[in-house]
Amino acid sequence: AIIAEIKCASPSSGIIRRNVDMPMMAGVLEQGGCIALSVLTEPYFFGGICRDIARVKSAVSLPVLRKDFIIDERQVPESRALGADAMLLIAAVLKNRLPGFVDTVIDYGLEPLVEVRTGAEAELALSTETTLIGINNRDLTTFGVDRSTTRNLSARIRRDGRLVVSESGMQSADDVREMKQYCDAFLIGSSIMSHNHPRKKLEEFVCA
């Protein structure tokens, strides 16, 4: 199960893909077999804008995750108004405010995806009502990737009945084959969006 991310830029890679036609790319990735799309709305580091969600929703029937630095509860009704179906909540950013944000997201009829990187963050996520917990293999301070982060944290999370999404660091179908026993889904952006044929690259991950 792949959540494909329409990603134009990132702090670690710089510009990934220029002049992306959002509806067209969404259609290409839907045809590639992803189960959902992640759309970045953060402009300064990722080159996204809020209206990209509406552009994507106009082209596909897949659920859309709003990926941004969510720090204000007003962004929750905003996300719903934009047409998002789910929101990324980063435990390292929200800290002890995370449970309240999860409740608010659920109250608005959206699905929270809580992102963690450490055991302490995983425990915080497990104290909330979220059913989806993303494990980010990328260290946000050094930008280094270590897939053992998913391996180390997933068992505890799954024992609690939550679904694990492994985020960052999947470059090839071999990576997915190696990691799929530790998670329920993958969120993959850069390696798909930087490929000359994004649909073909996505299909490799889906069929791994």
Q: Which of 89, 82, 83 is nearest to 67 (CA)?
A: 89
Q: What is the DSSP string of 15-31?
A: E--SS--HHHHHHHHHH
Contacts of 44 by beta carbon, 8 Å cutoff, 6+ apart: none
Which residues are known catalytic residues?
5, 7, 67, 115, 136, 167-168
Structure tokens at 143: 């930008």
Q: Which of 69, 70, 71, 58 is nearest to 27 (CA)?
A: 58
